[in-house]
Amino acid sequence: MKVSEPASKRQKFANPFKPGAGHMPPYLAGRESEEKEFRRLLAQTTILENLVLTGLRGLGKTVLLERFKPTAIQEGWLWAGTDLSESMSISEESLATRLLTDLSVVTSSITHSIRNEPKFGLTDETQQITATLDFATLVGRYNGTPGLVADKLKSALEFVWSILQMHGKRGVIFAYDEAQNLSDHAAKDQFPLSLLLDIFQSIQRKNIPFMLVLTGLPTLFPKLVEARTFAERMFRVIFLDPLNEQETSEAVLRPIKNNNCPVHFSPESVQTIWGVTRGYPYFVQYVCREAYDVWVQNAEAGQSMSPIPVREIVAKLDSDFFAGRWARATDRQRELMSAVASLPNCESEFTVQELIESDANRALAKPFSSSHANQMLATLTEAGLIYKNRHGKYSFAVPLLGGFIRRQRAYLEGGFAQLE
């Protein structure tokens, strides 16, 4: 790495790297195939496939969803949506209110004509007046329809489309982030997730171009299929992977080049960042931001440039990203995850059998049995630390969590962990 500008000029440059939840990076690397697939879905004349965008935290799902939005708008689609909170999942009514609220935000400026029936004895003429597709109009249509929540919601959505198509709109994208928060509640006789799937299947069969785009953790798609088996045929699932080495290099170097930054990352520094982050976009942004700040501060102080302070940055990352999640686990849950972290395949997939037969499990004062491991893995899945895929295998739901656990074990044993 090097600094190529005098101090007076360097002060004008802000750090271009932006680690954060949903923050658009200065350069979005390695997502060309996903964007191409989204454009294919937008070209559908009849909606046969909706989109599920899934993957671990830190892979850029929210960022990519935001990238899709202007693409859809340019193609003539309206874009409605928000983050899905657990409150939306309380009842079917709350789901319906959420959908109508989000839809009204993008339709409230669209006008349509309605008949104003004369009042008895005042006039015999029926007048046409102009109204908008605002929230009051949508709710009025909803409340004016007899039947169940599903009947009311279908009526409101079909009414909206009858107006939108006259204004030349291509359709509506209903885009929801953190969609794994949506659930059915059989004990309370409330099925908002099933309702969502039923509604969109029904209106799409009527050739209404309203498309669902859902993003969430890997538990999302199995939850959709569990609610309605037809969901397996209803969605195109894109699982985001980490960036490869070349894409990681672009994510590091392009922001520097595009912004004419005074700090330049050497090939050795880029290789170090790849080794630390393994291509997870959030970690790439985090490590680059920290390294950039250190180098600029050293330059301002007249100090010579040094290699990336890897251990210090990793320690800060452990505190900022991993520690809070780790703190929510019980001691016994930590024992199980420590055993998982000892597996050579812990960052990909593992089975319960591999876990209970591991040397780390056998070395415990109270090793886990198969039944106990299954129970605890289910609890950890609910806590968002583990997820089970459709093939019955498990994975950490937090990227590179295995390395963090091994570092914690080294700290407890009195040593300072080597970077993995």
Per-residue pLDDT tens digits for 71-106: 999 999 999 988 877 777 789 999 999 999 999 999
CA–CA separation, 216 and 205 (whole Å): 25
279, 266, 278, 256: which is closest to 308 by C-alpha?
A: 266
Burial class of residue 13, CB neighbours in 10 A (0-12, 13-18, 19+): middle
CB atoms within 10 A of CB 244: 14
pLDDT confidence tier of residue 224, bands split at 50, 70 and 90: very high
Look at residue 204 and tell me whether its pLDDT is greater than 90.
yes
Predicted local distance difference test score (pLDDT) of residue 123:
54
Question: For residue range 365-396, what is the model confidence (pLDDT) as tens digits?
Answer: 999 999 999 999 999 988 889 988 767 789 99
User: Measured between alpha carbons, how far is 417 from 178 in angstroms, rounded to an integer?
Assistant: 34
Domain ranges, ordered by start, for the chain: 2-22+243-308, 32-118+126-239, 326-412
pLDDT tier, 7 (very low <50, low <70, confident <90, very high otherwise): very low
Structure tokens at 40: 């294919």
Pick 326-412's CATH classification: 2.40.220.10, 3.40.50.300, 1.10.10.10, 2.40.37.10: 1.10.10.10
CA distance 237 to 290: 34
Contact 255, 241 (CB under 8 A): no
> What pLDDT score was predicted for residue 10?
45
Residue that wins the pLDDT comparison between 24 and 332: 332
Question: Is the pLDDT higher at 415 or at 237?
Answer: 237
Cα 247 to Cα 35: distance, rounded to the nearest angstrom: 15
d(C-alpha 162, C-alpha 159), whole Å:
5
pLDDT, residue 121, reads 52
User: pLDDT value at position 115?
Assistant: 63
Superfamily grouping for domain 32-118+126-239 = P-loop containing nucleotide triphosphate hydrolases (3.40.50.300)
pTM comes to 0.84
Return the pLDDT at 79.
97
Q: What is the pLDDT of residues 291-311, one digit of tens each?
A: 888 887 776 766 666 788 888
